Each structure stands twice: as structure tokens, then as C-alpha cells.
């Protein structure tokens, strides 16, 4: 049975992993006859958003703890992700990918990636294993596959300009 590693960026479209996208991706993995295990960086979120009002709050939340809401406990620190135990990688979107896995939301094309997330993603690249990056998560692609692939990021001109430098 195939096993898929999934990297989440928290819980919530505006400050973490997009919940519908994440849950439906996990469901699709199961429907395909595979299993999944989630990972997330054990770091504080860039900020916390009140999803009712869309406004940032003064709260502080941990990305791994928040992502555990989606994974229902089937989750570990991304620093522990061992590529040898998995057949493929999946990274759902939500603005957490641009705020917690990377700093794309702040720095655009000049962004950087969390070191543990980078190591995990590059391990799949180096092992020639498939990886899927959904929604805004393709901002990670140039930092993992700098010369070997071309990614798309939708049709928002501002986001595309930041993605393509």
C-alpha cells in the first residue's frame, strides 16, 4: 500500500492550511487506496486570523498544534519526516503555505523557506519521488526544484509576478 507524506501549515485558510483542501486531499489519498501521515513545522504562526472577521488577532499559535486539528493527531514535526518511509509528498495550500512554510506572503519572489520544510521537500526531489503542491503551495517549487521544473500559481497577476520573480 502506498503511503503519502502530507505537510500542513496550520489550520485555517487565512493563517494555516486550507481545511477543505486538506481534508479532501486526505480523502482522495484514501480513495486511491493509499494511506497518509501528516507533518508540520513546530514553529509559531506568522499571525493568527479571526476567521469570522478576517482580522489578525493578538493570539499566538503553534503551526504543528493547529495542523493536528486537521490530522486528528496523525501528525509529527516535519523535522522527523523520513523520505524512505513514503512514496510521495503532498502539500496543501491555504495562506499558511505562504506565511508559515515560507515567507512568500511578506517577501514575494525574494522569499525563503522553513529549513525543515525545505529539507523534507528536497528529500523527495532527491529521491525522485512525486510531489504535489496545491493552491498557493507552488511558491515552494522554485526553492526545491530551482532548475528542473516549471510551476504555475493560478491567474492572479500579483501572485504570479511574485512567484516568477
Residues with a known catalytic role: 135
What 156-161 contacts at long range (C-beta under 8 Å, 24+ apart), as own/partner pairs, is 161/108, 161/109
Antiparallel, parallel or unpaired: β 88-91 and 131-133: parallel
Q: How far apart are CA 162 and CA 107, in angstroms?
A: 8
Q: How far apart are CA 52 and CA 152, in angstroms?
A: 30
What is the torsional sign of CA 153, 159, 161, 165?
A: negative
Amino acid at each position: 500500500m502506498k503511503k503519502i507524506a502530507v505537510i500542513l501549515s496550520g489550520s485555517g485558510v487565512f493563517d494555516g492550511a486550507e481545511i477543505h483542501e486538506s481534508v479532501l486531499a486526505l480523502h482522495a489519498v484514501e480513495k486511491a487506496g493509499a494511506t497518509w501521515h501528516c507533518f508540520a513545522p513546530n514553529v509559531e504562526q506568522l499571525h493568527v486570523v479571526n476567521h469570522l472577521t478576517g482580522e489578525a488577532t493578538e493570539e499566538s499559535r503553534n503551526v504543528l498544534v493547529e495542523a493536528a486539528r486537521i490530522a486528528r493527531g496523525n501528525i509529527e514535526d516535519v523535522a522527523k519526516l523520513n523520505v524512505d518511509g513514503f512514496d510521495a509528498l503532498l502539500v496543501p495550500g491555504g495562506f499558511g503555505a505562504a506565511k508559515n512554510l515560507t515567507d512568500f506572503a511578506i517577501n514575494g519572489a525574494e522569499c525563503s523557506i522553513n529549513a525543515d520544510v525545505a529539507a523534507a521537500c528536497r528529500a523527495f526531489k532527491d529521491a525522485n519521488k512525486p510531489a504535489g503542491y496545491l493552491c498557493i503551495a507552488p511558491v515552494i517549487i522554485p526553492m526545491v526544484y530551482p532548475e528542473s521544473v516549471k510551476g504555475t500559481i493560478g491567474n492572479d497577476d500579483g501572485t504570479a509576478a511574485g512567484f516568477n520573480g
